[in-house]
Structure 1
Amino acid sequence: MEAFLVSTGLVALAEIGDKTQLLAFLLAARFRRPVPIIAGILVATLLNHAGAGALGAWITAQVPADVMRWVLGLGFVAMGLWTLVPDKIDEEEEGGKGLRLGVFGTTVVAFFLAEMGDKTQIATVALAAQFHSLLAVVAGTTLGMMIANVPAVLVGDRLAHRIPVRLVHGIAAGIFIALGLLVLGGFAQSWTA
């Protein structure tokens, strides 16, 4: 349960103001069809995060525990610092110019590609390696993505201007850094057992 809750909270906070949330706003504004957009976000996130989580589980099996503690600890600190860097959406990730996949297909492809190498995908790798619970981590990170992106689709940019994005990013960064320091200090060993 701990892996699920930590994964959900971290990703939901980290996703606020992220490029994929901006993509959700763009898709909602362009297509005005929330159900296929939300379904597309869910499918893309499940596919992307399942692969990322599997990679994290595989890495854990290959790397000695001492080395893994340092990699994870420093990785969480780095993610915390990265969370403080504002995201901008690239034009090619705008969501389907020229694609003839329909709203659902366009959303799946755009979200899957936008998540590649994104901080939430990398967080999923690290969380799966940390908690040794692939299903709980993928379910948690997916729920975190949905918590952040479904309101973006349903409410659009009216909500974005009311959320203090810097404060949310600061909180997420603090949690990532604290988690990294706990891992580096050996205080989170119960998670890796």
Structure 2
Amino acid sequence: MGSSILEGFTKSLAMTVLSEIGDKTFFAAAILAMRHPRRLVLAGCMTALIIMTILSVLLGWAAPNLISRQWTHHITTVLFFGFGLWSLWEAFTGDGESEELAEVEAKLDGNLKAGSPGSKGASKDNDDLKKLQTRFLMQIFSPIFLKAFSITFFGEWGDKSQIATIGLASDSNPFGVVLGGIIGQALCTTAAVLGGKSLATQISEKMVSLSSGILFLVFGVQSVLASATRL
């Protein structure tokens, strides 16, 4: 962990903001905030993102203890270049339309229809069993909170930003990465919840992909230069 807390913080903050703006979880938070109380949506999304960030940083922090620090540094460098090229490819091959917004909206509408009273597929016994299993959680957490939490948590699992956070934490100060990641997630999620769908539809996915691609490539170059200075 040769880098300072400030370096880990700035890298994590910049990476998180550019990765999460226009992401599926960003659109999900915006759409949910239009249909449900904003405070519950914000609380559910932020709880999931904080837990995901901490888990990702812990995985990255533990990686050098499982693999040699030299190998984790090389893997992180490759990830930065890989994600940078991936993002640039998305920027230049995308049609400029908000495809992810339409996909998330369709998925949320599908879940809403599947849970409507008119569906006849589930039996009454299964419904009663589900009610008994979830009654305790429903007494503690609002269903809206749980919905926002689950959609955000599982939407972020295995996402590009999560893997990048793991790689960043393995080669940077973990405290700085956690702090920068949480603040970045808070900024993006708050903007999505308060701005709603109108903000989401005005975001240029091409510019976001282009900016994040350049940022990842810069991180990759910095990683290569850092390894060169150690030789």
- Superposition TM-score, scaled by structure 1 size: 0.85
Pair 1:45-2:49 in alignment: yes
Hey, what's the Cα distance between the residues in 1 that align with 2:29 and 2:85? 24
Could you list the per-position Cα deviations for residues 100-124 of structure 1 after superposition, in whole angstroms to 9, with x for gaps in the alignment? 7511111111111101001111121
Pair 1:64-2:68 in alignment: yes
SS class of match (1:17): coil
Hey, what's the Cα distance between the residues in 1 that align with 2:228 and 2:162? 21
CA offset at residue 184 of structure 1?
2.4
Aligned to 2:21: 16
Pair 1:105-2:110 in alignment: no
SS class of match (1:185): helix
CA offset at residue 91 of structure 1?
7.5
More displaced stretch, 167-176 vs 156-165:
156-165
Structure 2: which 5+ residue stretches go unaligned?
Answer: 1-5, 116-133
Hey, what's the Cα distance between the residues in 2 that align with 1:114 and 1:92? 15
Q: Following TM superposition, where does structure 1 have runs of at least 4 consecutive aligned residues deviating by more than 6 angstroms?
A: none
Aligned to 1:158: 198
CA RMSD in angstroms comes to 2.6
Higher CA-based Rg: 2
CA offset at residue 61 of structure 1?
1.9
- Superposition TM-score, scaled by structure 2 size: 0.72
The structure with more helix, counted as a fraction of residues: 2
Pair 1:29-2:10 in alignment: no
Aligned to 2:125: none
More displaced stretch, 141-150 vs 110-119:
141-150
Provide the aligned length of Structure 1 versus Structure 2: 188
Task: Identify the structure with bigger relative contact order (alpha carbons < 8 Å, sequence gap 6+).
Answer: 2
